[in-house]
Structure 1
Amino acid sequence: MGRIAVRTLTEFSDVDQITIADYNEERAHEVAAALASSKLEIKQIDVNDEERLRRLLHGADAVLNAVEYVFNLPVLRACIQEKVHYADLGGLFHMTRKLMDLSAEAEAAGITAMVGMGGTPGVTNLLARAAVDQLDSVDSIKVQLGCGDETPSMAPLVAPYSIRTILDEFTKEPQVFQDGTWYPQRPLSGEEEMVFPLPIGRATATYSLHSECATFPVSFRDKSIRHVSFKIAFPPDFMTKLKFLVDLGFGSAEPINVQGVKVSPREVLAQLLDLVPAEDVEPQDCDVLRIVAAGQTDGQPVEITNQIVVLPYRRWGISAGALDTGTPL
């Protein structure tokens, strides 16, 4: 998603310089070459190297963090130390809560840190705010994401975003907020038939671990919010394939012994997917980002549904998922 954020920034006249910093320097050069912008420079970085990371950030105006979410914490800490504004794509609940604990430090440093500024979380937070502002009190906010993909592909599996994040969504316990407490749910539980606008239509959604369930109870506590949940409906074929791989054990990060070598099953899967050649096809996916907020206004019960239907952006040749996640950042 970082490449989409970079592409977006190159079109802003008031952005003078964009540094693409990546552990994989070769891939960063590929992104820069495709964009051919004089604003771009490339740096190799390991975000776990605090000293190098601080040198990289020194003097920057803002950091748009698109690393794997498990590495968000050292990036935000470095931004606080160097007094650089920060935004990321989300922390899958638990990491987001760790980042929120640094709020006072960020404020003391005089920076703004936006945790979760993609599609979900990100756009969904804005949809929720628009609804909450119309309510005197909030009983519940249900976040619902519908995904469809008819893009022709010969690949055995196409991950719409980071396969490591998806595997965590399939294997880690989702959290549902209810009356001041977070309650863990079984992964992929809470099956519910939903009807989304076309081209998604009717789809089966399940609970998923997501950052909105961490942030909404804090952001909207002045409205006495009681319930927050997140459900996602993946395309059926993708859901079947991923569940099969997870059931086989490919969702585990715990190393196993293979002919005397310790390997992580999920890293094997991630590497195999990286080896699948990219296909030059026109994206035909769709995302529906939706929140359903229920509460009271003037003593009367009110339910508000806010949703956005996202389609591929033909001018850039990018998918709906890339558009709604990369451009908000």
Structure 2
Amino acid sequence: MRVLALGGAGAVAREATRDLCQHGSIFREIVIADIDPAKAERLARDIGDPRLRVVPLDVRDEEALVRLIRGFDVVMNGLPFAYDVLVTRACVEAGVSGVDLAFDEAQFELDEAARSKNMVFIPGVGATPGTTNVMAAYAARSMDQVESVEIAFAAFRCLAPSPGLLRTTLWEFNPEEPERAMVYWEDGAWHPAPPFSGEKRVRFHEQIGEQTVYYVPHDEARTMPRSFPGLRRAAVRGCFPPHVMRAMRALYEMGALSSTPVPLDGGAYPAIDLVARLLAALPASRENPVWAYGLVVEVSGRRNGRPHTMVLRNRHPPQEVWGGEAAYYRNIGVPLSIGVQMIARGEISARGVVPPERAIPPERFFEELARRGIEILTE
């Protein structure tokens, strides 16, 4: 089989590519397609797997993307979320199954077309969304009725490890982000929530400890009401390291995360864009004392007519074992790789464009995570 890794040399996806090489014995060829082939070649040399090949690709050329995809058995998309719909559309056009790191509601509009091609595309197979969705599905199996899904994450990384991840952080706290109008689901409707609202203390694994998390407009909550009919509540809260949270709160309170143009040197620029340029240039934005990823999912409902709650937590090797920043990135890249390998091995029977909680068998997914050192613990 042949797998195509779109953006497979990126900050997150490189760990997925490494995992494909280490655990993806089903693949006879692993191709990294990237707009920067020199960067991809460096990664290929570093990994040293003879199955690796690099092709240059500008994903914005959709016709070229479809032609490329048609030569493969499965696609692993590690590109920034701005390309999610484009890649999904190209996979459906080519009739080739795949997985993606992020969510976009428009992807699910391609569900019927994907079913007609007898293929599956799973958006959001990273840490959160991704592993958290599968954790929720695992808990739901123990209940007759799911009533609430509460997801919390602690993304312990530096502020600006890459332009895309810096933008992700700023997006989390942008008060003008349209998705802030639909942050949590409660009693049959979506509700808005401003940045730094919904404060809650959550205990993560020992590398992170107890942290304060806040409502974020993450997409994993969006599919829960459809996946679990009768769901009363679904919410995602998150945080970054304390020094990043302090910086984001100060910028938010100053209005510096706004898209409103501000005058500067005879021009006018969105404040958030100016902040992004400044933060990207600061050396401190690329430093972090602890690299780790914490996930906690609490699912409540009823079992045998009685209230029942299950809490699931992740745990992974520390940065001293996994090598600095890899202790963060592997928690995102490894699930992406596992998802594409499960499709290739025929372990996913779902068809269409389907969220992780409805597509990925939890037990097998957790087994594969455990093989890599990522544990999912239940309470």
User: What TM-score does the superposition give when structure 2 sets the normalisation length?
Assistant: 0.75
301-310 vs 32-41, greater mean Cα deviation? 32-41
SS of 1:327 mapped into structure 2: helix
Deviation string, structure 1 residues 189-245 (Cα, Å, up to 9, x no partner): 111122334232221110001111111111222xx2111000013221111123334
AA matched with 1:9: L
Partner of 1:305: 311
Contact 1:141 1:292 in 2 (8 A): yes
Partner of 1:165: 168
The within-5 A match list for 1:172-191 is 172=177, 173=180, 175-191=183-199
The within-5 A match list for 1:91-240 is 91=103, 95=104, 97-148=105-156, 157-159=159-161, 162-171=165-174, 172=177, 173=180, 175-221=183-229, 224-240=230-246
Partner of 1:7: 18
Contact 1:147 1:200 in 2 (8 A): no
**How far is 1:307 from its partner?**
1.0
Partner of 2:249: 243
**How far is 1:294 from its partner?**
0.8
**Pairing 1:47–2:59 present:** yes
CA RMSD across the alignment: 2.8
AA matched with 1:231: R
68-77 vs 239-248, greater mean Cα deviation? 239-248
**How far is 1:281 from its partner?**
9.4
User: What TM-score does the superposition give when structure 1 sets the normalisation length?
Assistant: 0.85
AA matched with 1:126: V
Contact 2:146 2:300 in 1 (8 A): yes
AA matched with 2:14: R
**How far is 1:40 from its partner?**
1.9
Deviation string, structure 1 residues 149-200 (Cα, Å, up to 9, x no partner): 6xxxxx8x44597111221111131511123221121122111122334232
Gap change, CA 1:311 and 1:256, over 3 Å in 2: farther
**How far is 1:305 from its partner?**
0.5
In structure 2, how many angstroms separate the alpha carbons of the residues matched to 1:213 and 1:270?
A: 27
**How far is 1:55 from its partner?**
1.9
The within-5 A match list for 1:286-325 is 286-312=292-318, 314=321, 318-325=325-332
In structure 2, how many angstroms separate the alpha carbons of the residues matched to 1:36 and 1:284?
A: 29
**How far is 1:252 from its partner?**
4.7
Identity of aligned residues (%): 30
Gap change, CA 1:22 and 1:258, over 3 Å in 2: farther
In structure 2, how many angstroms separate the alpha carbons of the residues matched to 1:146 and 1:280?
A: 18
Deviation string, structure 1 residues 76-121 (Cα, Å, up to 9, x no partner): 0000000111111112xxx2x2112211111111111111101111
Contact 2:166 2:280 in 1 (8 A): no
Of 30, 40, 45, the residue aligned with 2:42 is 30
284-293 vs 195-204, greater mean Cα deviation? 195-204
SS of 1:328 mapped into structure 2: helix
Partner of 2:75: 63
In structure 2, how many angstroms separate the alpha carbons of the residues matched to 1:105 and 1:138?
A: 30
Gap change, CA 1:284 and 1:186, over 3 Å in 2: closer
Contact 1:312 1:323 in 2 (8 A): no
Aligned residue-pair number = 317
SS of 1:238 mapped into structure 2: helix
**How far is 1:8 from its partner?**
0.7
Partner of 2:343: none
**How far is 1:133 from its partner?**
0.3
AA matched with 2:63: E
SS of 1:102 mapped into structure 2: helix
Which structure 2 residue ranges, 5 or more long, are not aligned? Answer: 1-11, 337-379
Partner of 1:152: none
Contact 2:296 2:312 in 1 (8 A): yes
Contact 2:318 2:327 in 1 (8 A): yes
Partner of 2:333: 326
Which structure 1 residue ranges, 5 or more long, are not aligned? Answer: 150-154
